[in-house]
Amino acid sequence: MKTKAAKSKFIFVTGGVVSSLGKGIAASSVGAILESRGLKVNVVKMDPYINVDPGTMNPLEHGEVFVTDDGAETDLDLGHYERFTTAKLTRDNNFTTGRIYNEVITKERRGDYLGATVQVIPHITNEIKDRVLRNATADVVIVEVGGTTGDIEGLPFLEAIRQLKTDLGAQNTLFIHLTLVPHIKTAGEIKTKPTQHSVKELLSIGIQPDILLCRTEKELSTDVKRKIALFCNVAENCVISATDVGNIYEVPLNFHREGLDDRIIEKLNIWTRQPDLSAWENLVKKTQSSTHKIVLGMVGKYMALKESYKSLNEAISHAALANDCKVEIRYIDPEEIAKPGADVKGAFQGVSALIVPGGFGERGTEGKMVGIRYARENKIPYLGICLGMQLACIEFARNACGIEGAQSAEFQENSKYAIIHYMHGQTSDMAKGGTMRLGAYPCKLSSGSLSAKLYGKSEISERHRHRLEFNNSFREQLESKGLKITGTSPDGNLVEIVELKDHPFFIGVQFHPEFLSRPMTSHPLFKGLISAALSVKK
């Protein structure tokens, strides 16, 4: 193991006190500031839940499922890693307790352990270490440990990273612990005790944090930092204020101002150039200087948790920056606008653009099509993503082509009018995990189409996550009424993009463009949508 990982340094990011402190943003920001110094980084997420991957988990419980080019269904934090750094992530960059145990049990059944008693230590921990070391492809590998220190599920991961410090050497490993330093408003005091207890919990496992990132409402004073350093056995300049910010893209700048990158390269004994964070500085300035504003409607199923559409929300913010405007997202409940007598016009009052995102299941689909029809008939710029594209085709078939029974096979498998049907070899009752069209696929764009104009090229690659496809039996009928198929698989068989003729912006895509949007380079479809909305508003 030592030889394999010799060229890489490892940073392990853990979290304590409570969940949702922002370990993913913290790990991503560490990657960003190290890249600003010329270092190549890779980022890994270890998740303690027993699901093999998040692909079958409810977005309302766990947030979105992020998809990599190679088709891995991963934790949403991998989206942060790709947006903050230039790392190209794969299925090796995310693994769960379920995947680890599945692999160890498979090896045991195969006889790989030669009859040994299979135990958490060393077999589970060795499997974890092996998967971490597979990612030793960069100058620095940042490894985020999911969950909270003290959780029973996360103990094998913490034990594994404790062992890695011995395996790799102290100068090749660094432990960063993110913790909460709450401000008690009634007392007017900042409390350090939760951080002390969290570090004590980590110490009981055998891990001494090298750097503490203290999540706090306001910057910590020198006295508070000194107190935390004393009780947690870390250097005072290694107590870093992770102050609340209005925009997540400010975090790398704040960490740099606190000297985090200096501490990291000192402790890991790395030589680098001086940091260049000008791109991040310009990005933050743009977020603060935008003057125009539009309202974008989003008709989705998982509105109760913003994390359900994390990449989508970020892609919208990137497009807003590219168009020098602010975007207010108005979440519209599809079940409400589908009710008899619903005030549809009122629900969309002031909306300058509409998005119907991806999703699974029939609930809310009729309401989504109410929104799609409203956008189509009232010339509101529209972007349909995955299910949003499929429902746009069904709505058009019903209301523009007169196919009253138009439906998706997902909701009515034996329908004679399944505008959307299962891919060859797929059925509604097959296993759900990892059985869809997943990952990056090429798409050929029609010359002269709006999509080709936006992308500025004739062939693209986008990431997919779906099980059903457009039914080519209805292709000619829908195209004759004005719904144009402008993007297909290279062989022309699979429909990837549809556009509406005589509309300022009406595009449906079978893929998920939000996965490729970046803060410095907005995705062309989102950039075009916001641009069209601004033009229509004028």
* pLDDT at 432 (0 to 100): 47
**Active site (annotated) includes residue 183:** no
What is the distance between the alpha carbons of residues 527 and 525, in angstroms, rounded to a whole number? 5
30 and 258 Cβ atoms separated by less than 8 Å = no
Beta bridge partners of 330: 297
Would you state the structure tokens that stand for residue 278, as one six-digit string?
Answer: 């000008």
User: Which residues lie below 8 Å from residue 147, measured CB to CB, with a gap of 6+?
Assistant: 15, 19, 47, 48, 153, 154
User: Which residues lie below 8 Å from residue 325, measured CB to CB, with a gap of 6+?
Assistant: 290, 291, 292, 293, 294, 530, 534
* pLDDT at 347 (0 to 100): 94
Interstrand relation of 483-488 and 382-385 (parallel, antiparallel or unpaired): unpaired
Q: pLDDT tens digits for 479-506?
A: 999 999 999 999 999 999 999 989 999 9
Which position among 386, 410, 421, 443 bears the catalytic label? 386
506 and 298 Cβ atoms separated by less than 8 Å = no
- Coil, strand or helix at 228: helix
What is the distance between the alpha carbons of residues 12 and 516, in angstroms, rounded to a whole number? 26
* pLDDT at 434 (0 to 100): 47
* pLDDT at 306 (0 to 100): 64
User: Which H or E run includes 145?
Assistant: strand 140-145
378: left (phi over 0), alpha (psi -120 to 50) or beta: alpha
Percent above pLDDT 90 for the chain: 83
| Ranges in the chain, pLDDT < 50 | 1-5, 430-434
Interstrand relation of 495-500 and 483-488 (parallel, antiparallel or unpaired): antiparallel
- Coil, strand or helix at 33: helix
**Active site (annotated) includes residue 393:** no
What is the distance between the alpha carbons of residues 274 and 277, in angstroms, rounded to a whole number? 10
Backbone angles phi, psi at 318, to 5 degrees: -65, -40
463 and 516 Cβ atoms separated by less than 8 Å = yes
Which position among 325, 410, 514, 523 bears the catalytic label? 514
Q: Taking the domains of the chain in order of start, what are their residue ranges? A: 14-282, 291-537
Domains 14-282 and 291-537 share a fold: yes
What is the distance between the alpha carbons of residues 52 and 46, in angstroms, rounded to a whole number? 12
CATH topology of domain 291-537: Rossmann fold (3.40.50)
* pLDDT at 359 (0 to 100): 85
- Coil, strand or helix at 282: helix
* pLDDT at 302 (0 to 100): 63
309 and 79 Cβ atoms separated by less than 8 Å = no
**Active site (annotated) includes residue 466:** no
The string of DSSP letters for 106-135 reads HHHHHTTTTTPPP-IIIIIHHHHHHHHHTT
The CATH code that applies to domain 14-282 is 3.40.50.300
Q: Which of 537, 538, 466, 515 is nearest to 81 (CA)?
A: 515
